[in-house]
Every structure is written in structure tokens, then in C-alpha cells.
Amino acid sequence: AQKVTQAQTEISVVEKEDVTLDCVYETRDTTYYLFWYKQPPSGELVFLIRRNSFDEQNEISGRYSWNFQKSTSSFNFTITASQVVDSAVYFCALSEADSGNTPLVFGKGTRLSVIA
Amino acid sequence: DGGITQSPKYLFRKEGQNVTLSCEQNLNHDAMYWYRQDPGQGLRLIYYSQIVNDFQKGDIAEGYSVSREKKESFPLTVTSAQKNPTAFYLCASRKGHGGYTFGSGTRLTVV
């Protein structure tokens, strides 16, 4: 069975601090996809990144970066120089790749509060 | 612009009443999904549909029903059998192995 664990329920940081959100996953598949979503107070989930299991290169997008390590089954998300607008709930998700369109398996989310 | 439209944004239901939440997409995505989110909680899968005229139960399907008569539409009915329907409902769609595209959600409150 697939499972995604986000052990950090809530994190608070002061603006400009760096923060890392942890994501650990379980799957028996050798091919799979990992995702991160942001849910701001408005409620709509915003797609941030998709990574397939064969691509272990780290990804950087502006202040956001992702560290994918198959050896530890982790796909961690770091925000550098955090800003108040980063305050949101962040979800990590997993999808098997043997067939498309199957539901994503979500972690329970990490609520990030960035304090000015 | 392509996207997913959920309506209404806010919905109030009386005890014992059925209500239907609308979800429409113009992304030509094959699959559509309904999730429920309670305050401070994660997402729980209610129903999903991978193809027109077919759908599968998710983890918390009891008290809900769906239909998928058109590729673009996946309405969710919250029936009177759902004893605690107050929640935030999110609809999503997906094509192949891409990520979900989410709608903006419907907040349902029982009055």
C-alpha cells in the first residue's frame, strides 16, 4: 500500500528564515510520481512540482527547492528566505505510475506560518 | 482559459436535505475526483471517475453519490444519509500521470 507521511503538523518561522518541510513516502512501485501542493487561506490547492522516480536531481525554482532521495524515500521541500505570503498548508502526494488517472495519495499536510 | 469551476462557493443545507455540488472542467481531462477536507485536516477521497459513465468509491463514499454522464462534469450529491456534511469540498481533474488541477472549492454548512 502507498503512504505519505508529513510528520510536521505545524511550523512557525520568522520572516527571512529558511524552512524545510519533510515528506516521507512508502510504495512498492519502482516507477512513481511525487507532488507538492500549496493551500493558501483561500482554500484552492496550487500545484508546485511533480517529480518522477527516475529523476533524482534536485529542483530549484526561485526561493523553492526540492530534495528527492530514493535511498531514504524522502521528498523534502525547502523555502529559502521565507515570506509572509508563504504561509499556507503544504501537501505532499504520491502517485503510482503503472496506470494513469489513479487517485493521488496525500499526506496530512504541514501548516506553515511565517511571522513578520 | 482552461480550468475547473466549482459552484456554489458557499452552500447551506438543512437537516435531511440533499444538495448537489457542481464541478465542471474544460481541460479535456479524463479523470475527476472529489475530496472532503475538515478544518485543520487533510484531504479524504470521496469518489473518483477515470472515464465517462464509470466511477469508483473512495475512502469515505457513504452518504454521497456522483454521476459522470459527460467528460466535463462530475457533480457530487450530499445525501441526507451523510450525518456530518459540514466541510470544504474540493474537486480535481487529472490527465494521465500529470498532477491534479483543483477547483476553488465549495464550503458546505448544515443549518
Tens digit of pLDDT for each residue in B10-27? 999 888 899 999 999 999
Residues of A in contact with B45 (CB under 8 A): 103
CB contact under 8 A, A100 and B88: no
Is the separation of the CB atoms in B48 and B33 below 8 Å? yes
pLDDT surpasses 90 at A39: yes
Residue A102's pLDDT is 83
The three grid cell numbers given for residue B38, joined into one nine-digit string? 475538515
Say if the Cβ atoms of A101 and B101 lie within 8 Å. no
What is the structure's pLDDT at A9? 96
Q: Is A98 on the interface with B (CB under 8 A)?
A: no
Q: How far from B57 is each of B62, B91, B100, CA to CA, in Å? A: 9, 15, 18
Query: Counting one residue from A and one from B, how many pairs have CB atoms under 8 Å apart?
Result: 59
The pLDDT of residue B1: 67
Q: Across all residues in chain B, what is the average pLDDT?
A: 93
All residues of chain A having their beta carbon less than 8 Å from the beta carbon of residue B95 are 100-101
Does any CB of chain B come closer than 8 Å to the CB of residue A102? yes
Q: What are phi and psi of A43, to 5 degrees?
A: 105, -30
pLDDT at A112 over 70: yes
Above 70 in pLDDT, residue A99? no
- What pLDDT is stored for residue B72 in this prediction? 97
The DSSP code for B20 is: E
What pLDDT was estimated at residue A98?
A: 62
Q: Tens digits of per-residue pLDDT, B32-79?
A: 999 999 988 889 999 999 999 999 999 999 999 999 999 999 999 999
Q: What pLDDT sits at residue A73?
A: 96
d(CA B75, CA B65): 9
